[in-house]
Amino acid sequence: MSARLHKLGKLIKKKSLAKCLFCTDGLTPDYKDIARLKRFMTPRKRIIPRSESGLCVRHQRQLSLAINRARQMAML
C-alpha cells in the first residue's frame, strides 16, 4: 500500500514540476519558429509526447499542428 502511495506521489510531483513552456512564455507554437519546434522533437524528428514535453493539452495540439505544417513546407 505504501509503495503504491509512494508511486502516486511521485507521479503527481513529476507532473507538477514540468510546466508548459508556451504558457509560461505567453507564446503559441508557430510553424515558422523552427528552433523552438525542434526542442519538442526527438533526433529522429518525431514529436515528443505530452508526458515528456510537459505541455498542456492545448499547446501540445497546436505544436503537433505547427510541426506537421513545417514538415509539409519542408522546413523540418
Measured from the CB atom, is 7 or 61 closer to Zn ion?
A: 61
20 binds Zn ion (CB under 5 A): yes
**Closest distance to Zn ion from the beta carbon of 23 (Å):** 3
By CB atoms closer than 10 A (0-12, 13-18, 19+), residue 63 is buried
48's CB contacts (< 8 A; 6+ apart) are 40, 41, 42
Name the minimum Å distance from CB 8 to Zn ion: 24
> Given the complex with Zn ion, which of 53 and 70 has the nearer CB atom?
53
Segment 24-63, which members bind Zn ion (CB under 5 A)?
Answer: 56, 59
Closest CA to 36 of 56, 59, 58, 18: 59
What is the binding site for Zn ion (CB under 5 A)?
20, 22-23, 56, 59
